[in-house]
């Protein structure tokens, strides 16, 4: 899957943009993507005019040309390689979606079996890697473990650290990572609980094998409920990619220095950890739990979220791109309802979440700022229903996002993208004379 320069040229419009500053003007090329979004090419701006653009947070910056994922935040559309997220969540499995994102097409039966076989083959960790877990203190954050272990895994595959991986080696490397993150995640949970490590069962499919490694005991095999297995598939599918978000951009930033695939995705894990990104799924549950415990009303919470003197935000609400609704939140909410119906379960946190959503969607503050529930608002409730402990939530997000990160890394290299190196507007001192230490105030 290569978006060639030639294809990029095809996107060039006859229309031009003209930027005038003082007595100088520059004519800039304009490109149009396949979904009609239009971008002005400023790659020669500084060279020709000495000017740079200022865009903290990159909200208006197209940092890449990509054909992996399309998001229309105004209309609430999300597509992977042209397939809508609703259709994939309805009909597909995570492994199939991972294949689609990584290799650009839905797999044939043979391709699916070949990829699934690779995933089974690479599930286990090298025994020396298992010893690393002994070095982490009790209570070590599982996101730190995951990132560290991805780099440790790289040490065992020097042949895959090249950035010029051919198609076979990329398939092997991506299958190894996708398979092993699940083993690493389950091991970190087992260690945190003081439980013995459960080795993979090659008879089980991707999600079922993960649940087995998480919850089986040496004396009792965990019986994987197909309903929960499906729920986990859906959770992973909706998280599989989301174009140039904070963690994918981090992977691209690191990969642009020609760092290897393992280290680049390890950096993605670190970016995802933050509460404004992947860490939000935990924060939503923490928020709902404290509302439940303290008996606060939805109205009080909404008032606090609106109070500019407070730093509190309604977690799981708002999105940099979605200014209508997040289609992933809808899919997850629908599936949570279905899951609880089938399992005859209820969760007081779900009732609180529904009430908060209702109030927020009718409140001028949220309406004016176009703040809607995002993917994290209902994902935690789904994970709780599956039995995933709270401190593993963001790790589960990372497993789901792995295909996207790896596809971005590959695409960046296929496009031979230059090293990422933004500019800045310097606002510091212009000159200071050095003062010896004993003369300083
Ligand atoms: N609760 C209350 N107010 C919120 C809010 C929330 N969850 N999200 C945004 N706002 C408000 C901001 O205070 C700001 O108000 P102002 O214009 O009066 O200053 C306005 O909406 C714009 O927010 P901003 O932080 O500039 O948007 P952003 O695009 O930079 O940030 C998020 C997007 C996702 C980081 C932000 O909405 C947020 O923090 N949400 C909660 C965390 C979360 O759920 N993250 C998961 C994302 S998938």
- Does the residue 375 lie in any domain? yes
Would you tell me how many other CB atoms lie within 10 Å of the CB of residue 331? Answer: 22
Quote the CA–CA distance of 146 and 125 in Å, as a whole number: 13
How confident is the model over 230-235, as a mean pLDDT?
97
- Does the residue 305 lie in any domain? yes
**Residues 6 or more apart in contact with residue 168 via CB below 8 angstroms:** none
Residues 258 and 341 reside in one and the same domain = no
Residues 142 and 220 reside in one and the same domain = yes
pLDDT in tens, 391-431: 999 999 999 999 999 999 999 999 999 999 999 999 999 99
Counting ligand 1 atoms within 8 A of each CB, the residue from 55, 246, 271, 318 with the most, and so the one to mutate, is 318
Domain extent, residue 44, equals: 3-53
Q: Does the beta carbon of 314 lie inside 6 Å of ligand 1?
A: yes
How confident is the model over 82-99, as a mean pLDDT?
98
Quote the CA–CA distance of 19 and 282 in Å, as a whole number: 45
How much is the mean pLDDT over the chain? 94
The enclosing domain of 371 has a CATH number of: 1.10.230.10
Question: Whole-model pTM?
Answer: 0.93
- Does the residue 256 lie in any domain? yes
Distances (CA, A) of 20 to 215, 256, 436: 63, 32, 47
Residues 269 and 288 reside in one and the same domain = no
Residues 307 and 260 reside in one and the same domain = no
Q: Does the beta carbon of 316 lie inside 6 Å of ligand 1?
A: yes
Residues 174 and 198 reside in one and the same domain = yes
The enclosing domain of 17 has a CATH number of: 2.20.28
- Residues above pLDDT 70, as percent of the chain: 98
Number of domains in the chain: 3
Which of ligand 1's atoms lies nearest the C-alpha of 326?
Answer: 48
Q: Does the beta carbon of 317 lie inside 6 Å of ligand 1?
A: yes
Q: Using CA positions, which residue lies closest to atom 41 of ligand 1?
A: 315
- Does the residue 421 lie in any domain? no
Nearest to 148 by CA among 128, 170, 133: 133
Residues 256 and 304 reside in one and the same domain = no
Q: Does the beta carbon of 238 lie inside 6 Å of ligand 1?
A: no
pLDDT in tens, 357-370: 999 999 999 999 99
pLDDT in tens, 113-131: 999 999 999 999 998 998 8
- Does the residue 93 lie in any domain? yes
- Does the residue 58 lie in any domain? no
- Does the residue 176 lie in any domain? yes
Residues 41 and 168 reside in one and the same domain = no
- Does the residue 426 lie in any domain? no
pLDDT in tens, 242-253: 999 999 999 999
Could you tell me the distance, in angstroms and rounded to a whole number, from the CA of residue 350 to the centre of ligand 1?
A: 22
Could you tell me the distance, in angstroms and rounded to a whole number, from the CA of residue 319 to the centre of ligand 1?
A: 7
């Amino acid at each position: 899957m290569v978006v060639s320069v030639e294809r990029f040229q095809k996107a060039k419009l006859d229309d031009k943009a003209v930027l005038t500053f003082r007595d100088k003007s520059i004519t800039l090329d304009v490109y149009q993507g396949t979904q009609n979004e239009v971008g002005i090419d400023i790659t020669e701006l500084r060279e020709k005019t000495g000017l740079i653009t200022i865009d903290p947070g990159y909200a208006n910056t197209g940092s890449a040309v990509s054909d992996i994922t399309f998001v229309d935040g105004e209309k609430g559309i999300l597509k992977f390689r042209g397939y809508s997220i609703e259709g994939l969540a309805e009909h597909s499995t995570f492994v199939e979606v991972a294949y689609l994102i990584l290799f650009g097409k839905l797999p044939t039966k043979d391709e699916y079996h070949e990829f699934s076989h690779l995933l089974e083959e690479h599930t286990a960790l090298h025994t020396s890697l298992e010893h690393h877990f002994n070095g982490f203190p009790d209570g070590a954050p599982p996101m730190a473990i995951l990132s560290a272990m991805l780099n440790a895994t790289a040490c065992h595959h020097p042949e895959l650290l090249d950035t010029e991986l051919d198609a076979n080696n990329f398939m092997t490397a991506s299958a190894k990572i996708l398979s092993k993150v699940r083993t690493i995640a389950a091991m970190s949970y087992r260690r945190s609980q003081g439980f013995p490590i459960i080795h993979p069962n090659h008879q089980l499919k991707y999600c079922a094998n993960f649940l087995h490694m998480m919850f089986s005991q040496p004396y009792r095999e965990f019986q994987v409920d197909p309903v929960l297995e499906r729920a986990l598939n859906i959770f992973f599918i909706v998280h599989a990619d989301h174009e140039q978000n904070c963690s994918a951009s981090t992977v691209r930033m690191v990969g642009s220095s020609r760092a290897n695939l393992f280290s680049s995705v390890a950096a993605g894990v670190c970016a995802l950890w933050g509460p404004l990104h992947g860490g939000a799924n935990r924060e939503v549950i923490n928020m709902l739990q404290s509302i439940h415990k303290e008996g606060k009303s939805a109205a009080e919470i909404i008032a606090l979220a609106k109070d500019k003197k407070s730093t509190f935000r309604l977690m799981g609400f708002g999105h940099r791109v979605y200014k209508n609704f997040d289609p992933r939140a809808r899919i997850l909410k629908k599936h949570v309802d279905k899951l609880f119906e089938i399992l005859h379960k209820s969760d007081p946190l779900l009732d609180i979440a529904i009430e908060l959503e209702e109030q927020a969607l009718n409140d001028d503050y949220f309406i004016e700022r176009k703040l809607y529930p995002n993917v994290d608002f209902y994902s935690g409730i789904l994970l709780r229903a599956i039995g995933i402990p709270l401190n593993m939530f963001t790790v589960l997000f990372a497993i789901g996002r792995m295909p996207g990160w790896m596809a971005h890394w590959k695409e960046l290299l296929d496009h031979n993208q230059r090293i990422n190196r933004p500019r800045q507007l310097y606002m510091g001192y212009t000159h200071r004379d050095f003062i010896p230490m004993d003369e300083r105030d």
